[in-house]
Homo-oligomer: A and B are copies of this chain.
Amino acid sequence: MEQAAPTFWTKKDLIGIRELSRGEIELILDTAPQFLAVSKRISRIKRVPLLQGRLVVNWFHEPSTRTRTSFELAAKRLSADTLSMTASSSSHVKGETLHDTLANIEAMHADIIVLRHSCAGAPHMLAADHSSHIINAGDGRHEHPTQALLDAFTMRLALRENSANKDATLDGVNVALIGDVEHSRVARSNIFALTKLGAKVTVCGPVALLPAQVEKLGVRATTSLKEALCDADFIYALRIQRERQGKGLFPSLREYVKLFRIDRDSLRFAPDHALVLHPGPINRDLELSTEIADGSRSLVLQQVTNGVAIRMAVMHLLANSQSRQL
């Protein structure tokens, strides 16, 4: 049963989904549609002045054209000023350096810091000691909260558009997460978000790529794609991290494709209404066949569109924390 979303947002930062209540997640999802409408304005100004004069700093320690672009557009469509800082990824967190750099950015009066870092916990560490709003844009294998929010938003929107119930929720909806669950921050954040929203989550992949005791997170685990898909309303294909191959964990690509690829053949296991998501970029014909990725059951491009709206909603809520929802 859905609970009423809170009217106010109170957290300074968005570090992970794990720390959010169902109500907080729903406040974000309920705030996004108005921003989706802003981006879809045709031939008119795709901007609202909600963050005019605020400074959003995109601080990416790992390369990411897609996520960085999405955050940058979200900031611009809120009329914020933007600044990009990149840094070569380093194998160890140099705590002092990160703190010093952030202190400097803050001394120039930055308002929101969007941080991607290869080390799990870096955004949390910085958020605790600094006053600016920190948004985690992916930290190591830990979390990627805006990805999970845009995914949940996309599923909820699809449910509402395909049913008579314009208030449909993810309660009781079946979601299958397929692939390398063990190493995926996208999977972790999605598991937290989906289970909090009442969905029933099944994770499926090669046994070495399923986390030990993943059931403790409230999900069902299986190595059988057929079993995972048989009742799925949404099928979420995770991206294969090719660099993990050859380390004894990952099967051959040929084996993976045969057992876990989402394609016309494997979709026969799933209900006819099941829809397909992927966080992008797709390794075409490895985790997802081109036919399905580009077909009518794919929500992949809607995810991208919704990502800008969700990030606008998150920035707006953080920057105006404790303010009323619009």
Contact = CB atoms under 8 A, between A and B. Distances in A.
Given A46-B109, A76-B81, A100 B281 contact: yes
Contact of A284 (B39, B55, B66, B96): B96
A45 interface: yes
Interface stretch (A10-18, A67-75, A185-193): A67-75
Interface stretch (A119-127, A141-149, A223-231, A301-309): A301-309
A214 to B, nearest CB: 30
A52 interface: yes
Q: Which of A69, A109, A308 has the largest count of B CB atoms less than 10 A from its CB? A: A109
The oligomer's copy count stands at: 3
Nearest to A103: B301
Nearest to A319: B43
A53 B39 CA distance: 10
B100 A304 contact: no
Contact of A109 (B54, B104, B107, B305): B305
Given A96-B284, A284-B96, A305 B53 contact: no
Contacts of A109: 39-40, 46, 305, 308
Nearest to A99: B294
Contact of A52 (B45, B85, B101, B282): B45
Nearest to A77: B81
Contacts of A85: 65, 69
A244 B272 CA distance: 58
Contact of A70 (B55, B72, B108, B305): B108
A72 B108 CA distance: 11
A69 B83 contact: yes
Given A104-B280, A290-B96, A45 B41 contact: no
A114 to B, nearest CB: 15
Contacts of A308: 108-109
Given A65-B85, A85-B69, A108 B304 contact: yes
30 contacts: A39-B108, A39-B109, A40-B109, A44-B53, A46-B54, A46-B55, A46-B109, A65-B85, A69-B83, A69-B85, A69-B105, A69-B108, A70-B108, A73-B83, A73-B108, A96-B284, A96-B290, A97-B281, A100-B280, A100-B282, A100-B284, A103-B301, A104-B281, A104-B301, A104-B304, A107-B301, A107-B302, A108-B305, A108-B307, A108-B308
The 8 closest A-B CB pairs, nearest first, are: A45-B53, A107-B304, A107-B301, A107-B305, A46-B53, A39-B109, A104-B304, A76-B81
